[in-house]
Amino acid sequence: MKLALVIHRYGADFAGGSEAHCRQLAERLRERHEVTVLTTCARDYVTWANHYPQGRTEVNGIPVLRFPVTRERDLKAFADLSDEVFYRSAPADRQEAWFRENGPQAPALLDHLRQHGAEYDLVLFWAFRYANSYFGVPIVADRAVLVPTAEADPAIRLDVLEDFFRKPVGYLFLTPEEETLVAGRAGRALEPRAIIGAGLDPAPDAPGRDVLDTHGIPANFVLYLGRIDQNKGCPTLFEYFANHLRDGGADTTLVLAGPATLPVPEHPRIRS
């Protein structure tokens, strides 16, 4: 089969999230299918500033077509619009404007789907909240497979998603709970679908204490590995860890490993 995988950003240096999931699937699907990734030139998911050259390239042997972002995200406008559509009664056009402001805005990618979408047997889209998915799925709805990567946050409650979630011809979910969440928003069972999870490569032999000692990591620690971000629940993590320390867990250190988009509390038991 000839497959297109649509993702907001793509590269070998993205360690987690939808980007890593898409890359892992692309590199396994290519063994039996013709795979092309359609993405943007952005590397920074906050601003969507262009970073990579536009055009055709390869990442780990996978053909990648990159399309330029025409407008970076206006953070204040996006924050104001988020407050409007999440916490007030907002009409459909304002909710759709939220997806546009969330970005990335890459009209040439959508044009490619209009002009060449019928050349692919299936077009897979990661993830529901980004403009390339929200505006791209309807263009190729007769061959669109949605990988929503949905979670229980304010965006999932937007009214326009009921119709959007019904458009694809297939669905790939990471967990049964995600399937239940998205089907609930669509108002019906979503078929055909599969729960595929996210694979993990076998772990190498555990390093000795020398590596941890080099970084000053104590014997008792809890590791958070990923983006240090509001959308990942990190403020709640900090709150719960503070409660843990207050309730007698003073010998535990919270170790954060990942890029931070919010301030990390200054505390001798929190390392980043």
The answer on 172 and 112 residing in a single domain is: yes
- Predicted local confidence at residue 13, as pLDDT: 83
Q: Are 101 and 134 in contact (CB under 8 A)?
A: no
Q: Which pLDDT does position 52 carry in this prediction?
A: 95
Regions of the chain with pLDDT less than 50: none
pLDDT of residue 218: 86
Which of these three, 195, 226, 258, is where a domain ends?
195
Q: Are 155 and 132 in the same domain?
A: yes
* Same domain, residue pair 178 and 238: no
* Whether residue 185 is found in the same domain as residue 250: no
Do 138 and 219 belong together in one domain? no
- pLDDT of the residue at 119: 97
Tokens linked to 253: 């250190």
| Residue 234 belongs to some domain of the structure | yes
Question: CA-to-CA distance for 44 and 51, rounded, in angstroms?
Answer: 8
- Domain coverage including residue 16: 2-195
In this structure, is residue 91 part of a structural domain? yes
CATH of the domain at 170: 3.40.50.11930
In a domain, 72, yes or no: yes
**pLDDT value at residue 271:** 87
Are 181 and 136 within one domain?
A: yes
Q: Is residue 114 a part of any domain in this protein?
A: yes
